[in-house]
């Protein structure tokens, strides 16, 4: 008859009667991959923002006339990157609401951008459809967001968010 080997405590284990601060659980691979997908999404947003900003016309042909557009492009691009970075940070911190808000952000992006991208390919609507680079960027952004959402709702991720909530409650 064999008995299961007892496991010796490791550096990530903590005794249940510890009187010091309670450390939160470690993020599983699914959450780490989701955060990585969100960082990729932020990078793609920055690249797409840069491409679109560079394509804006300069009304007088002088580069100085395009400065307001450049500033606006930088502001809009930064505003597009912040949610990606914030959700990655909060997901790694074990905040369960981050996966809900990530799904909401993804839904808003999908509903607002995909139909306008499809409509832009109708010849009567626009004289010049978006270039293949823009379409590829948007597609990659959507895939990064979808991958992050799928990974954040995996069972291992759910256990992590639940354990993180319990650890935060225990600290109070």
In a domain, 109, yes or no: yes
Which are the contacts of 12, defined by CB distance < 8 A and separation ≥ 6? 26
Confidence of residue 171 (pLDDT cuts 50, 70, 90): confident
pLDDT at 87: 97
Residue 24 within any structural domain of the chain: no
Q: Which residues span the domain enclosing 83? A: 29-166
Work out the pLDDT band at 16, boundaries 50, 70, 90.
Answer: very low
Domain assignment present for 5: no
What domain count does the chain have?
A: 1
Q: Angle at which helices 29-55 and 155-171 pack, to 10 degrees? A: 100
* CA proximity to 26, closest of 93, 82, 73: 93
Residue 96 lies in a domain: yes
> Does 123 fall in a domain?
yes
- Rounded average pLDDT over 71-98: 92
pTM of the model: 0.75
- What pLDDT, in 10s, does the model give residues 97-152? 999 999 999 999 888 877 767 766 666 555 566 667 677 778 889 999 999 999 99
Q: In whole angstroms, give the CA distance from residue 46 to residue 80.
A: 8
For every residue of the chain, which 3-state class applies, written as one string?
CCCCCCCCCCCCCCCCCCCCCCCCCCCCHHHHHHHHHHHHHHHHHHHHHHHHHHHCCCCCCCHHHHHHHHHHHHHHHHHHHHHHHHHHHHHHCCCHHHHHHHHHHHHHHHHHHHHHHHHCCCCCCCCCCCCHHHHHHHHHHHHHHHHHHHHHCCHHHHHHHHHHHHHHHHHC
Span 26-75, pLDDT tens digits? 999 999 999 999 999 999 999 888 877 776 655 555 555 666 777 888 88
């Amino acid at each position: 008859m064999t008995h299961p080997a007892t496991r010796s405590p490791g550096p990530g284990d903590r005794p249940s009667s510890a009187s010091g601060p309670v450390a939160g659980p470690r993020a599983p691979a699914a959450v780490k991959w989701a955060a990585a997908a969100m960082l990729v999404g932020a990078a793609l947003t920055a690249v797409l923002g840069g491409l679109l900003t560079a394509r804006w016309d300069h009304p007088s042909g002088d580069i100085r006339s395009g400065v307001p557009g450049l500033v606006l492009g930088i502001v809009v691009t930064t505003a597009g990157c912040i949610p990606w970075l914030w959700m990655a940070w909060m997901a790694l911190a074990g905040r369960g609401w981050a996966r809900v808000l990530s799904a909401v952000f993804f839904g808003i992006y999908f509903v607002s951008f995909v139909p306008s991208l499809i409509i832009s390919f109708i010849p009567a609507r626009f004289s010049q459809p978006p270039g293949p680079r823009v379409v590829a960027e948007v597609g990659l952004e959507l895939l990064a967001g979808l991958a992050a959402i799928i990974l954040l709702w995996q069972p291992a991720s759910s256990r992590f968010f639940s354990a993180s909530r319990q650890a935060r409650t225990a600290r109070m």
